[in-house]
Copies of this chain bind each other. A is one copy, B any other.
Amino acid sequence: MFTVLPVPEARSLLAALLPQELRRSEPVTLLRCLGRRLAQAVYSRENVPGFARSTVDGYAVRAADTFGAGEGAPAYFSVTGEVPMGARAEQGIALGEAMRISTGGMLPPGSNAVLMIEHTEIIGSEGIEAYRPVGPGENVIYADEDARAGDELFPANHLLRPQDIGYLAAVGELELEVFAPLRVGIVSTGDEIIPVEERPTPGLVRDVNSYSLYSQVQQWGGAPVLYGVVRDDPGTLALKLRQAYEETDLVLVSGGSSVGARDHTTENIARMGAPGLVFHGLAVKPGKPTLGGVIGRKPIFGLPGHPAAALIVFDLMVAPLLKFGGYSRIQPDALRVRALVSRSLASAPGREEYFRVRLRRRQGSLWADPVLGKSGLLKPMVEADGLIRAPLESEGIAAGAEVEVVLFGTDYVL
């Protein structure tokens, strides 16, 4: 009765039953958009800056009037005034004329270049000499050079960074349609699990998974909702799962590790509605005892009780839904770097296997040092910087091989 699936098959089966895009969109004011993803492409409604601007302090001129100027043969200009900052430049520039202009000032009509102040010298009370020529457009930003009305500024699903927020401010887009965080319900089960506030006596352990899953949901842009610890009682579990299902977009139940608790979770998911349980076991180590199902159009996952396994399976199966709204979209994933494995790792064909590694730069190369430890322990996950993978049909990874490391975070100098 165990339908153990490789990860790609498990994703495909779920994708076929889920909506193309699990996330809704919502309008959000620009200042709150950092780290959010655009739900639709953004087009500029304006030319930016909207007028030709100087990029230096100097003199606005007609470029042609500077041609041939040099140290030995300066070009002379009569200075007819100063361009006001923050206002339209009204006064024009004629043959042999120049106007003082500050960085950011508007080019006066008739001018098409700016002489840098360093390349000029003041002559008398109303003149300057220029010692270098400037070409048309030199030291100038054109009216539509930062953005042109109608241009696509960003595609849908773009992740907004600080410079993007600034760019959208420049074009006056002050409210954006971005994806809303998926609400994720988190339920823990198992008779040996107690709320973290309690002090465990022998036989009992604290509810680690509620905390690490809550944080993973946050990290990947979701909105976590905790439903606490449910004792290994089918009726209570059914009620709690139903509540989480009604109130959120996606449900995670992290398994009691006892056989009984696993069975109750399986039966409960199967009974919640159609299409029901999609797979019962993933060909992944750690992470085999993972359940996946779809009730109506919402996904539900039974994650392993081992915290390290739950963390890894979350990244494989849940994070893409939170980050990209589905499995089918071709998108960048977590941050990855290449490194050399410092010792051989054996793996059994027929399942993907994930190994925790620490990254260290030695002898000019980046090395991935395996952090060994039982899969029931959390400490090796804490000591590691990321994961490497032995593929489904591999027998392991040889020492010295170049591998891709999926990083846990971004606090590294690589």
Binding site for B on A (CB under 8 A): 30-31, 34-35, 48-51, 53, 55, 57, 84-89, 102-106, 141, 145-147, 153, 159, 161-170, 172, 174, 190-193, 196-197, 199-216, 218-219, 232, 256-261, 305-308, 311, 332-338, 374-379, 381-382, 408-414
Chain B residues near A191: list those with CB within 8 A. 85-86
Q: Chain A at the B interface: mostly helix, strand, loop or mixed?
A: loop
- Residue of B141, B201, B215, B334 touching A377 (CB-CB under 8 A): B141
- Please, could you name 18 A-B residue pairs with CB atoms under 8 Å apart, sorted by A? A85-B190, A102-B257, A102-B260, A103-B258, A103-B306, A105-B258, A141-B376, A145-B377, A161-B409, A162-B215, A162-B408, A163-B311, A163-B408, A167-B208, A169-B196, A169-B210, A332-B413, A337-B337
Chain B residues near A337: list those with CB within 8 A. 337, 414
**Which residue of chain B is the closest to A106 with respect to CB atoms?**
B203
Chain B residues near A34: list those with CB within 8 A. 215, 218-219
B206 with A159: CB separation less than 8 A:
no
A307 with B166: CB separation less than 8 A:
yes
A215 with B414: CB separation less than 8 A:
no
- Complex Cα–Cα for A38 and B414 (A): 22
Chain B residues near A214: list those with CB within 8 A. 31, 165
**Which residue of chain B is the closest to A34 with respect to CB atoms?**
B215
- Complex Cα–Cα for A204 and B216 (A): 44
List 20 other contacts, CB 8 Å, given A104-B257, A167-B382.
A30-B196, A34-B219, A49-B205, A53-B205, A85-B191, A85-B258, A89-B203, A103-B258, A145-B379, A162-B408, A165-B212, A165-B215, A166-B209, A166-B212, A166-B378, A169-B210, A333-B413, A334-B410, A335-B412, A337-B337
Chain B residues near A374: list those with CB within 8 A. 55, 141, 145
A211 with B30: CB separation less than 8 A:
yes
- CB A313 to nearest CB in B, in angstroms, measures 13
Give the top 5 A-B pairs by smallest Cβ distance, nearest first: A166-B212, A86-B191, A162-B215, A169-B211, A104-B257
Report if A408-B375 is in contact (Cβ < 8 Å); known contacts: A50-B202, A335-B414: no
B378 with A163: CB separation less than 8 A:
yes
- Complex Cα–Cα for A77 and B94 (A): 106
- CB A194 to nearest CB in B, in angstroms, measures 8
- CB A349 to nearest CB in B, in angstroms, measures 18
- CB A150 to nearest CB in B, in angstroms, measures 15
- CB A404 to nearest CB in B, in angstroms, measures 9
Report if A166-B311 is in contact (Cβ < 8 Å); known contacts: A104-B205, A202-B51, A211-B31: yes
Chain B residues near A163: list those with CB within 8 A. 212, 307-308, 311, 378, 381-382, 408
- Complex Cα–Cα for A270 and B157 (A): 45
A87 with B203: CB separation less than 8 A:
yes
A216 with B86: CB separation less than 8 A:
no
- CB A148 to nearest CB in B, in angstroms, measures 10
A57 with B102: CB separation less than 8 A:
no
- Complex Cα–Cα for A289 and B192 (A): 62
A104 with B305: CB separation less than 8 A:
yes
Chain B residues near A215: list those with CB within 8 A. 31, 34, 161-162, 165-166
